[in-house]
Structure 1
């Protein structure tokens, strides 16, 4: 399937998204209402290093084989498969017990653990499948056991979504597909998990392949991820834990409004678009050596936008 979502009505600039949210000791979990995270981009932030943590081996692999667009050098990664396997074996021996809600560092460490394990296991599954053109050609790619008897779906749904109830987690879990969120180049740590979750969500929401507003034609186009986990999918029963982004179009608009420039945020809050279109998902493998026919543009605010 093919990505869509390019449009007029926005001012687009291609750039790398800078730091945007200062960690403030808040635990992993749904962020408080009333904050526009797009405006937090300019605040300084020193990213935490995974060096010296149990996730350092994964951090080395990601920084070595993932580029700034989230595309993977699977040929190179295959040469380091022993390191990837050793990391997953080690993580299986260090599965954290569910942390008490009052232990904020432990809660963040637990969430970072499962994000890292999910992404590492997904990469390993691609290698095991022989680096296919698309993971949808691999039977049961998301539902067969890949780590400690758990599938990628089980890690996402049970260890992350049901446990933490934080929609931002969707923006850091790789699908190993170009239509999914960008794979991060560094492993996650408890130290700045909250900041990185918000950073990834702003990047996702400000990518016209995933979210685009057409004020002239009064419509918005959204990634199917926002529908898949919204609890509202025409003709199909509600998904388990399926209300991450709300159950109505309005709730999804209000969620999106927190991560985009204020002028567009006000538009979403004050207008009811006549059309809400969910784009097709691009299942092409996120590999570096594939033709880059659909570059990933990022938008910035129009001139004069604070």
Structure 2
């Protein structure tokens, strides 16, 4: 993992894929996590568990198919005629937890979002893309979860790929806020309220007057690959 001056964290996929021991450690961690019982865990422990498992599985999927330009180039398998199979690996069932086969979509949309009802889920899970909130540099832990989720939210909201105030005062925001609008208040005003909650002084000042309109949203699906970047 390497941080860049542009504020986007990238991973050294090529080096990781070339290291048999590192791949084995990842596989071993996933196996151990899958054997646990998250339904019996306290809330913060369960949140950290699911987020860490999601991120580890995403890394494994990308490493298995690397080199790829985007995670969206990896199709889902075992999903019949589901058209979503062609735009990413999120429908493939990758792991079995408490007897239930799960895909990445299952973990995020069937477990984490409805269980925790916390918009910071979107800052905790990483889709291996430039446009995604950065992969947190450490495994999520219950003891530091609240503080670190707030830090991850602030890092994304205050980065141009999270929110940018345009010259006319309107906003360009991440497509996350359009795709999952219901998690961010269900409206443009709700999204702006969420942005204000995590904005630093500079962004907060730009958002202070009224409720700026959201003019557009954007997302960069290029792989967050730092293998050859300077």
TM-score by length of 2: 0.84
Q: Does 1:153 align with 2:105?
A: yes
Are residues 275 and 111 of structure 1, via their aligned partners in 2, closer, same or farther at CA, if it must alter by over 3 Å? closer
- Cross-structure match for 1:286: 224
- Cross-structure match for 1:272: 211
3-state DSSP class of the match of 1:196? helix
- Cross-structure match for 1:233: none
Deviation digits for residues 28-54 of structure 1 (CA, Å, limit 9, x no counterpart):
xxxxxxxxxxxxxxxxxxxxxxxxxxx
Aligned mates of 1:70, 1:91 — CA distance in 2: 25
Aligned CA RMSD, in angstroms, stands at 1.7
For residues 76-91 of structure 1, the aligned pairs below 5 Å read 76-78=15-17, 79=19, 80-91=22-33
Aligned mates of 1:166, 1:284 — CA distance in 2: 26
Aligned mates of 1:179, 1:275 — CA distance in 2: 18
Choose between structure 1 and 2: higher helix proportion.
Answer: 2
Larger Rg computed on CA atoms:
1
Aligned residues of 2:165 and 2:206 also touching (Cα < 8 A)? no
- Cross-structure match for 2:79: none
- Cross-structure match for 1:128: 64
Instruction: Report the alpha carbon displacement of residue 274 of structure 1 after superposing the two structures with TM.
Output: 4.5
Aligned mates of 2:92, 2:202 — CA distance in 1: 44
Aligned residues of 2:126 and 2:135 also touching (Cα < 8 A)? yes
Aligned mates of 2:184, 2:150 — CA distance in 1: 15
Q: Which moved more, 1:268-277 or 1:172-181?
A: 268-277
Instruction: Report the alpha carbon displacement of residue 272 of structure 1 after superposing the two structures with TM.
Output: 3.4
Aligned mates of 2:53, 2:67 — CA distance in 1: 19
- Cross-structure match for 1:225: 176
How many correspondences in the alignment?
A: 207
- Cross-structure match for 2:82: none
TM-score by length of 1: 0.64
3-state DSSP class of the match of 1:97? helix
Aligned mates of 1:259, 1:187 — CA distance in 2: 22
Choose between structure 1 and 2: higher strand proportion.
Answer: 2
- Cross-structure match for 1:75: 14
Residue from 141, 149, 153 that aligns with 1:189: 141
Gap runs ≥5 in structure 2: 77-88
- Cross-structure match for 1:298: none
Q: Which moved more, 1:80-89 or 1:258-267?
A: 258-267
- Cross-structure match for 1:245: 184
Aligned mates of 1:169, 1:274 — CA distance in 2: 24
Gap runs ≥5 in structure 1: 1-65, 100-105, 231-242, 293-306
Are residues 274 and 193 of structure 1, via their aligned partners in 2, closer, same or farther at CA, if it must alter by over 3 Å? closer
